[in-house]
Amino acid sequence: MTDVAPRTRSLPATLGFALARIWRNGRPVERTAYLVGALLFTSGLVHVAVLLVTGHTWVGPVSLRKAATFGLSFGLTLATVVWTTSFLKISTRVRSVLLTVFTVVCVVETTLVSMQAWRGVPSHFNFETPFDTVVAMALAAGGAVIILTVLGFASATIVGSREITPSTRLAVRAGFVILLVSLGIGAVMVAHGAVEARTGSAQLAYTTTGKLKPAHAVAMHGILVLPALAWLLGLTNWPERARLGLVAIATAGYAILTAVVLVESFNGVSPFAATGPETATSAVAIALLAGVTVVTAFGLLSRRRPAAD
């Protein structure tokens, strides 16, 4: 994950070489998952385009926004999980099974949510008809399967990893831990929403679970941000000790941001209406992440360049 391309190459060539190598070294199950992830992400972009062109609402349980966010999020998450798990010590067969299950569930979740959005009915906590009930239960079951597969991968980060640098190991482990936090929040949302919908009203379910969406969203993409930073730092000329320090700072920043948004969400406070201390803490966390990003960009741009290509 570090010396993936000769350091004397230009930056665009280095990035292209590194990305191409990820694809070339991928097994069939990985390449398939990458393609599926790209399709899911594209479906999200298509729904965003539809919303922009038609002017349909971006809010509410029946908005096409849900289809857009599920496509974008699952597309990114699927590709990221496939990439990061390639550095774990896990048997080829087990990894292939877990990746296959994870890929299928990502497709099912995105497809069901998109289908219900186009039907103009809620996808979650909708028990109005037998068909809608089956869809809602399938989505809940799919979420449980996702948690189990990610737990399988996360346990592998504890056992060990392939011959990768300490900075990459820290990023991957932290990314999976934060992803599990996101999935745990999602499980709470589904469980609480289902109870409210069964015993109270569906609208109350959407309102109460909606408060947890910011924390769920922020935590979900730590698995992308932290390993990506470690990967980019691996393309610089800096020693591993410096890279590890920067990844540790980014990890602390992401963990703090996740914790603050989580507290705000459980208290029903919007990140845009947070208290002074909460806003200040979030600002510090964002500054840490932004600082590492800027330093990483500087490291990439200041790489040793060849005199002539």
| pLDDT at site 138 | 94
C-alpha distance from residue 249 to each of 44, 67, 137 (Å): 32, 34, 40
* Cα–Cα distance for residue pair 255/288, rounded to 1 Å: 11
pLDDT recorded at residue 231: 92
What's the CA gap between 283 and 298, in Å, rounded?
Answer: 22
Helix (H, G, I), strand (E, B) or coil at 64: coil
Return the amino acid letter for 164.
I
95 contact partners, CB below 8 Å, separation of at least 6: 85, 88
Provide the residue type at 14 as one letter: T
The H or E element containing residue 267 is: none
88 bridge partner residues? 161
Rounded distance between C-alpha atoms, residue 307 and residue 59, angstroms: 54
Q: What is the pLDDT along the chain (309 residues), one digit of tens a residue?
A: 444 444 456 667 777 777 888 888 888 999 999 999 999 999 999 999 999 999 888 887 788 999 999 999 999 999 999 999 888 888 888 889 999 999 999 999 999 999 999 999 988 888 889 999 999 899 989 999 999 999 988 888 776 556 788 999 999 999 999 999 999 988 888 877 777 777 766 666 666 677 788 888 899 989 999 999 999 998 888 999 999 999 999 999 999 999 999 888 888 777 777 788 888 999 999 999 999 999 999 998 887 654 443
The predicted pLDDT at position 213 comes to: 85
Bridge-partner residues for 161, per DSSP? Answer: 88
Q: In the 8-state DSSP scheme, what is residue 89?
A: -
- C-beta pairs of 88-93 under 8 Å, 24+ apart in sequence: 88/153, 88/156, 88/157, 88/160, 88/161, 88/162, 88/172, 89/156, 89/159, 89/160, 89/161, 89/162, 90/153, 90/156, 92/27
Q: Tokens standing for 23?
A: 């694809």
239: number of Cβ within 10 Å:
8
Contact of 214 with 69, CB cutoff 8 Å: no
* Helical residues (DSSP H) of the chain, grouped into ranges: 11-25, 28-54, 65-85, 92-119, 130-159, 166-199, 202-210, 213-220, 222-233, 240-266, 276-301
Residue 87 to residues 18, 112, 172, 217, Cα–Cα distance (Å): 15, 31, 9, 25
pLDDT value for 60 = 79
Q: What is the pLDDT of residue 206?
A: 65
